[in-house]
Amino acid sequence: MLIQAVGAMLPAALAVALSPFPLIGIVLILSGARGRRNGLLFAVGWITGLTVTATLVAVLFGGADDPESTSSAIADRGRVLAGGALIVLGVRKWWQRPRAGEQAEPPRWMASLDDATAGRALLLGALLSGANPKNLVLTASATASIVEAGAHDVGLAVAVAVFVLIASCTVLGAVGMHLAGGQRAATFLDGVRQFMVTNSTVITVLVLLLLGASVLGDGLSGLGR
Protein backbone atom coordinates (compact mmCIF):
# COMPACT_ATOMS: atom_id res chain seq x y z
CA MET A 1 0.00 0.00 0.00
CA LEU A 2 2.82 2.38 0.88
CA ILE A 3 4.64 1.65 -2.38
CA GLN A 4 1.44 2.35 -4.33
CA ALA A 5 0.96 5.63 -2.46
CA VAL A 6 4.54 6.73 -3.14
CA GLY A 7 4.26 5.78 -6.80
CA ALA A 8 1.02 7.73 -7.15
CA MET A 9 2.47 10.96 -5.79
CA LEU A 10 5.97 10.71 -7.29
CA PRO A 11 5.37 12.76 -10.49
CA ALA A 12 3.86 15.67 -8.54
CA ALA A 13 6.67 15.57 -5.96
CA LEU A 14 9.32 15.74 -8.69
CA ALA A 15 7.45 18.60 -10.37
CA VAL A 16 7.56 20.60 -7.12
CA ALA A 17 11.26 19.82 -6.68
CA LEU A 18 12.13 20.91 -10.24
CA SER A 19 10.32 24.24 -10.07
CA PRO A 20 12.92 26.82 -11.17
CA PHE A 21 12.14 29.85 -9.02
CA PRO A 22 12.53 28.29 -5.54
CA LEU A 23 15.89 26.89 -6.61
CA ILE A 24 16.94 30.28 -7.97
CA GLY A 25 15.75 31.88 -4.73
CA ILE A 26 17.63 29.52 -2.42
CA VAL A 27 20.86 29.99 -4.38
CA LEU A 28 20.48 33.78 -4.14
CA ILE A 29 19.86 33.51 -0.41
CA LEU A 30 22.85 31.22 0.09
CA SER A 31 25.10 33.67 -1.74
CA GLY A 32 24.19 36.48 0.65
CA ALA A 33 26.02 37.73 3.73
CA ARG A 34 23.97 35.49 6.07
CA GLY A 35 23.61 32.68 3.57
CA ARG A 36 24.03 29.75 5.91
CA ARG A 37 21.48 30.96 8.45
CA ASN A 38 18.96 32.19 5.90
CA GLY A 39 19.39 29.12 3.70
CA LEU A 40 18.54 26.82 6.61
CA LEU A 41 15.56 28.99 7.56
CA PHE A 42 14.30 29.00 3.96
CA ALA A 43 14.54 25.19 3.93
CA VAL A 44 12.64 24.97 7.22
CA GLY A 45 9.93 27.27 5.87
CA TRP A 46 9.75 25.29 2.63
CA ILE A 47 9.32 21.96 4.43
CA THR A 48 6.79 23.46 6.84
CA GLY A 49 4.67 24.90 4.03
CA LEU A 50 4.56 21.58 2.17
CA THR A 51 3.82 19.61 5.34
CA VAL A 52 0.97 21.86 6.47
CA THR A 53 -0.63 21.89 3.01
CA ALA A 54 -0.35 18.12 2.58
CA THR A 55 -1.73 17.49 6.08
CA LEU A 56 -4.76 19.71 5.49
CA VAL A 57 -5.53 17.97 2.19
CA ALA A 58 -5.14 14.54 3.80
CA VAL A 59 -7.66 15.51 6.49
CA LEU A 60 -10.05 17.03 3.95
CA PHE A 61 -10.06 13.96 1.69
CA GLY A 62 -9.86 11.37 4.46
CA GLY A 63 -12.43 9.04 2.88
CA ALA A 64 -11.25 9.26 -0.72
CA ASP A 65 -9.96 5.68 -0.74
CA ASP A 66 -13.58 4.60 -1.25
CA PRO A 67 -14.32 5.17 -4.98
CA GLU A 68 -18.03 5.63 -4.18
CA SER A 69 -17.46 8.29 -1.52
CA THR A 70 -18.19 11.98 -1.84
CA SER A 71 -14.55 12.73 -1.02
CA SER A 72 -13.39 10.64 -3.98
CA ALA A 73 -15.80 12.39 -6.34
CA ILE A 74 -14.69 15.79 -5.11
CA ALA A 75 -11.04 14.81 -5.50
CA ASP A 76 -11.61 13.66 -9.09
CA ARG A 77 -13.53 16.82 -10.01
CA GLY A 78 -10.81 18.86 -8.36
CA ARG A 79 -8.19 17.04 -10.45
CA VAL A 80 -10.09 17.83 -13.65
CA LEU A 81 -10.23 21.52 -12.74
CA ALA A 82 -6.63 21.58 -11.48
CA GLY A 83 -5.28 19.72 -14.51
CA GLY A 84 -7.09 22.09 -16.86
CA ALA A 85 -5.78 25.07 -14.89
CA LEU A 86 -2.19 23.80 -15.09
CA ILE A 87 -2.47 23.36 -18.85
CA VAL A 88 -3.92 26.86 -19.24
CA LEU A 89 -1.13 28.28 -17.08
CA GLY A 90 1.46 26.47 -19.17
CA VAL A 91 0.04 27.81 -22.43
CA ARG A 92 -0.23 31.29 -20.94
CA LYS A 93 3.35 31.15 -19.66
CA TRP A 94 4.60 30.13 -23.12
CA TRP A 95 2.54 32.83 -24.83
CA GLN A 96 3.97 35.49 -22.50
CA ARG A 97 7.57 34.26 -22.76
CA PRO A 98 10.26 36.85 -23.52
CA ARG A 99 10.85 37.16 -27.25
CA ALA A 100 14.28 37.19 -28.89
CA GLY A 101 16.31 40.06 -27.51
CA GLU A 102 13.93 40.71 -24.59
CA GLN A 103 15.01 40.41 -20.97
CA ALA A 104 12.68 38.58 -18.59
CA GLU A 105 11.68 40.55 -15.50
CA PRO A 106 12.55 38.66 -12.30
CA PRO A 107 9.73 38.26 -9.76
CA ARG A 108 9.56 40.98 -7.11
CA TRP A 109 10.19 38.53 -4.28
CA MET A 110 13.69 37.93 -5.63
CA ALA A 111 14.73 41.52 -4.92
CA SER A 112 17.39 41.84 -2.21
CA LEU A 113 17.40 38.16 -1.32
CA ASP A 114 21.11 38.35 -0.66
CA ASP A 115 20.48 40.49 2.45
CA ALA A 116 17.13 39.04 3.53
CA THR A 117 16.27 38.98 7.22
CA ALA A 118 15.83 35.69 9.06
CA GLY A 119 12.07 36.19 9.23
CA ARG A 120 11.78 36.93 5.52
CA ALA A 121 13.82 33.87 4.56
CA LEU A 122 11.61 31.63 6.72
CA LEU A 123 8.36 33.20 5.47
CA LEU A 124 9.46 33.12 1.84
CA GLY A 125 10.23 29.40 2.03
CA ALA A 126 6.80 28.69 3.52
CA LEU A 127 4.94 30.85 1.00
CA LEU A 128 6.75 29.48 -2.05
CA SER A 129 6.00 25.90 -1.05
CA GLY A 130 2.60 26.13 0.63
CA ALA A 131 0.90 29.17 -0.89
CA ASN A 132 2.30 29.17 -4.43
CA PRO A 133 -0.71 28.25 -6.67
CA LYS A 134 1.21 25.71 -8.77
CA ASN A 135 2.72 23.98 -5.75
CA LEU A 136 -0.64 24.10 -3.98
CA VAL A 137 -2.30 22.24 -6.87
CA LEU A 138 0.52 19.70 -7.12
CA THR A 139 0.62 19.08 -3.36
CA ALA A 140 -3.15 18.68 -3.20
CA SER A 141 -3.12 16.25 -6.13
CA ALA A 142 -0.24 14.24 -4.67
CA THR A 143 -1.83 14.00 -1.23
CA ALA A 144 -5.21 13.02 -2.66
CA SER A 145 -3.44 10.25 -4.61
CA ILE A 146 -1.82 9.03 -1.39
CA VAL A 147 -5.19 8.89 0.38
CA GLU A 148 -6.88 7.17 -2.58
CA ALA A 149 -4.14 4.53 -2.60
CA GLY A 150 -5.44 3.44 0.79
CA ALA A 151 -2.66 4.76 3.03
CA HIS A 152 -3.83 5.28 6.63
CA ASP A 153 -2.34 6.31 9.95
CA VAL A 154 1.39 5.52 9.98
CA GLY A 155 1.41 4.65 6.27
CA LEU A 156 -0.23 7.97 5.43
CA ALA A 157 2.25 9.90 7.58
CA VAL A 158 5.21 8.08 6.01
CA ALA A 159 3.91 8.65 2.47
CA VAL A 160 3.38 12.37 3.15
CA ALA A 161 6.88 12.58 4.68
CA VAL A 162 8.34 10.91 1.57
CA PHE A 163 6.45 13.37 -0.63
CA VAL A 164 7.79 16.34 1.35
CA LEU A 165 11.33 14.92 1.24
CA ILE A 166 11.27 14.36 -2.54
CA ALA A 167 9.62 17.73 -3.20
CA SER A 168 12.31 19.38 -1.05
CA CYS A 169 15.32 17.50 -2.44
CA THR A 170 16.61 20.35 -4.63
CA VAL A 171 16.28 22.95 -1.88
CA LEU A 172 17.84 20.66 0.73
CA GLY A 173 20.53 19.62 -1.74
CA ALA A 174 21.47 23.23 -2.43
CA VAL A 175 21.68 24.03 1.30
CA GLY A 176 23.69 20.89 2.06
CA MET A 177 26.07 21.53 -0.82
CA HIS A 178 26.62 25.12 0.31
CA LEU A 179 27.31 24.07 3.90
CA ALA A 180 29.75 21.31 2.96
CA GLY A 181 31.29 22.37 -0.34
CA GLY A 182 32.81 25.80 0.13
CA GLN A 183 33.76 27.88 -2.91
CA ARG A 184 33.51 25.01 -5.42
CA ALA A 185 29.94 24.41 -4.34
CA ALA A 186 29.15 28.12 -4.58
CA THR A 187 30.48 28.21 -8.14
CA PHE A 188 28.47 25.13 -9.09
CA LEU A 189 25.28 26.50 -7.53
CA ASP A 190 25.72 29.80 -9.33
CA GLY A 191 26.00 27.87 -12.60
CA VAL A 192 22.76 26.05 -11.74
CA ARG A 193 21.11 29.38 -10.97
CA GLN A 194 22.17 30.84 -14.30
CA PHE A 195 20.88 27.75 -16.13
CA MET A 196 17.55 27.99 -14.32
CA VAL A 197 17.22 31.70 -15.07
CA THR A 198 18.00 31.16 -18.75
CA ASN A 199 15.67 28.18 -19.15
CA SER A 200 13.03 28.91 -16.49
CA THR A 201 10.24 29.50 -19.00
CA VAL A 202 10.83 26.23 -20.89
CA ILE A 203 11.18 24.21 -17.68
CA THR A 204 8.07 25.74 -16.13
CA VAL A 205 5.97 25.26 -19.29
CA LEU A 206 7.01 21.61 -19.65
CA VAL A 207 6.24 20.87 -16.01
CA LEU A 208 2.86 22.60 -16.18
CA LEU A 209 1.79 20.91 -19.41
CA LEU A 210 2.99 17.40 -18.53
CA LEU A 211 1.64 17.44 -14.99
CA GLY A 212 -1.54 19.19 -16.10
CA ALA A 213 -2.22 16.43 -18.62
CA SER A 214 -1.45 13.76 -16.02
CA VAL A 215 -3.66 15.30 -13.33
CA LEU A 216 -6.49 15.92 -15.82
CA GLY A 217 -6.26 12.33 -17.07
CA ASP A 218 -6.38 10.94 -13.52
CA GLY A 219 -9.43 13.07 -12.76
CA LEU A 220 -11.30 12.00 -15.88
CA SER A 221 -10.38 8.36 -15.25
CA GLY A 222 -11.73 8.62 -11.71
CA LEU A 223 -14.98 10.21 -12.82
CA GLY A 224 -15.41 7.47 -15.40
CA ARG A 225 -15.27 4.67 -12.83
Per-residue pLDDT of the chain (225 residues), as tens digits, is: 678 878 888 888 888 888 887 888 888 888 877 878 888 999 999 999 999 999 998 888 777 677 777 777 787 788 888 888 889 988 988 888 777 666 666 666 666 676 778 888 899 899 888 888 888 888 888 888 888 887 778 888 899 999 999 999 999 998 988 888 777 777 888 887 788 777 778 888 888 888 888 878 877 877 766
Amino acid 167: pLDDT: 93
Phi, psi at residue 68, to the nearest 5°? -90, 0
Amino acid 85: pLDDT: 86
Interior angle at CA 130, CA 169 and CA 9, nearest 5: 55
Q: Report the C-alpha dihedral over residues 99, 103, 106, 108, rounded to 10 degrees.
A: -100
Element (H, E) at 176: helix 169-223
> What single DSSP character describes residue 69?
S
The answer to whether the CB of 201 falls within 8 A of the CB of 98 is: yes
Amino acid 209: pLDDT: 87
Residue type, 36: R
Of 148, 141, 133, give the one whose Cα is nearest residue 217: 141
Can you tell me the distance from the alpha carbon of 219 to that of 191, in angstroms, rounded to the nearest whole number? 38
Amino acid 76: pLDDT: 79
Can you tell me the distance from the alpha carbon of 173 to that of 179, in angstroms, rounded to the nearest whole number? 10
The residues, any chain, with a CB within 8 Å of residue 27's CB and separated by 6 or more, are 174, 189, 190, 192, 193
Amino acid 162: pLDDT: 94
Of 42, 50, 17, 62, give the one whose Cα is nearest residue 161: 50
The answer to whether the CB of 61 falls within 8 A of the CB of 143 is: yes
> What single DSSP character describes residue 99?
-
